[in-house]
Amino acid sequence: MVSGAVRGHQRGGAAQDPEEGYHLTEDLADHAIGWVRSQKALMPDKPFFMYFAPGATHAPHHVPKEWIDRYQGQFAHGWDRQRELTFARQKELGVIPADAGLTERHAEIPVWDDMAEELKPVLEREMEIYAGFMSHTDHHVGRLLDAIEQLGVMDDTLIYVIIGDNGASAEGTHQGSCNEMINFNAMGALETPEFLAERLDKFGGPESYNHYAVGWAWAMDTPSSGPSRSPRTGAGPATARSCTGQTALRARASCARSSATSSTSPQRSWRRPASPSRPWSTG
């Protein structure tokens, strides 16, 4: 049993069970939507400021199973190929220059093809969970942006998406972890491939504290060789409509805690950016 989100000095609701569908991201989005609707109902001409900070995609990666299953089999090609696919997609989107080169592999990062065959289903599942966690968060951030659109104030709203927490992390070790606290307590040797495979159905749920392998972290930092930035993308009234719904985070940086901030003004004093806003992405 877990408690809901904290609002002020009060819990957001009665204790709720993850097995019954509770997830903090959804709870936070529900509260944010309720708050902005109340604010505009009570003070429609008063600007608002909101700081919305879900836990995704920081470890542990927890998300309902149906979101994980959407990505089943989509990462069987491994992290080496994933880097290539992401890099090509970034060039296609114009995120990086067409003549950019992909950074070299670190000597400490294993080649996907060299990983034990019995471990690969676990490694694939780690990334499926991560992708599901990101998509789940994207969905609920989209709900919040849709609520702002429905209130008719999107054209007076400035939105920033800040990708914090310094990029993907290597705390999952070479093989990932069902409980990264084991590694922090110098007992990582307990998590053998057999140990992880036996707990595969626990990954992503309340009985785990899972994290992905360092190879996936490396892939998610593409095109860099490691985390180096906390990027930001934004939209003002001139571009806000292109950032409604689920599109706002579709091109967001990976394995990062996402924080969306919004502020509105009753006056349309914003200027169109000198150049169109371009989403920053690693995947």
The CATH number for 223's domain is: 3.40.720.10
CA torsion through residues 193, 209, 22, 140, sign: negative
Q: Over 50: is that where the pLDDT of 196 sits?
A: yes
Q: Over 60: is that where the pLDDT of 238 sits?
A: no
Neighbours of 194 (CB within 10 A): 10
Check residue 228 and give its pLDDT.
61
Domain contains 5: no
Check residue 267 and give its pLDDT.
33
In Å, what is the CA distance from 29 to each residue of 86, 145, 256? 29, 10, 18
Domain contains 271: no
Q: Over 90: is that where the pLDDT of 258 sits?
A: no
Query: Quick one: average pLDDT of 172-188?
Result: 90
Residue bearing the bigger pLDDT, 261 or 138: 138
21-63 tens-digit pLDDT: 889 899 999 999 999 999 999 999 999 999 998 988 888 999 9
Distance CA 126, CA 75 (A): 9
For 145, residues 6+ apart whose C-beta sits below 8 A from its C-beta are: 154, 159, 243, 244, 245, 248
Number of domains making up the chain: 1
Q: Over 80: is that where the pLDDT of 272 sits?
A: no
pLDDT > 70: what percent of the chain? 74
Domain contains 194: yes
12-24 tens-digit pLDDT: 555 577 777 889 8
Check residue 18 and give its pLDDT.
78
pLDDT > 90: what percent of the chain? 52
Domain contains 282: no
Check residue 273 and give its pLDDT.
32
Domain contains 7: no
Domain contains 16: no
Check residue 43 and give its pLDDT.
93
Distance CA 142, CA 150 (A): 12
Domain contains 130: yes
Quote the domain boundaries for residue 244. Answer: 21-264
Q: Over 50: is that where the pLDDT of 255 sits?
A: no
Domain contains 146: yes
